[in-house]
Homo-oligomer: A and B are copies of this chain.
Amino acid sequence: MAKHDTQLSDLFHALADPTRRQMLTRLAEGPAPVSELAGPTGLRLPTVMRHLSVLEDAGLIATAKDGRVRTCAIVPEALTPMQAWIEEQRSIWEARLDRLDAYVMNLMKEREK
């Protein structure tokens, strides 16, 4: 449970940055060398490497070095735990009488005025 929790935190944290999401979107088209991922970001190489390291630590990408070139590729199954968590929450949330919640919250907001 604790391990699963850390994994979820790492995944959500990795996706909380638009540059990292942009890198993943590029990698969805196929593996790419670091230089190609760095290009559109306009960021310096050390910053790019830090973003890639966050993605790799979360298990979202794998990297391998061939000579002086490091190539990155997505790990498609990495999204599974996050997707499962969101879907589980969503089904619980929607099963609730959320209209009643909204109604109660509105009533309370009205009283607050």
Contacts and interface: CB of A to CB of B under 8 A. Distances in A.
Given A86-B86, A101-B74, A96 B9 contact: no
A101 to B, nearest CB: 5
A interface SS class: helix
Q: Please state the number of chain copies in the assembly.
A: 2
A76 B105 contact: no
Interface string A26-41: 0011110000000000
B86 A98 contact: no
Interface residues of A, number: 46
A93 B79 contact: yes
Nearest to A72: B105
A41 to B, nearest CB: 14
A31 B112 contact: no
A8 B16 CA distance: 7
Given A76-B96, A83-B90, 11 more contacts: A5-B21, A12-B12, A12-B13, A28-B92, A28-B96, A31-B104, A64-B108, A65-B112, A74-B98, A79-B89, A83-B83
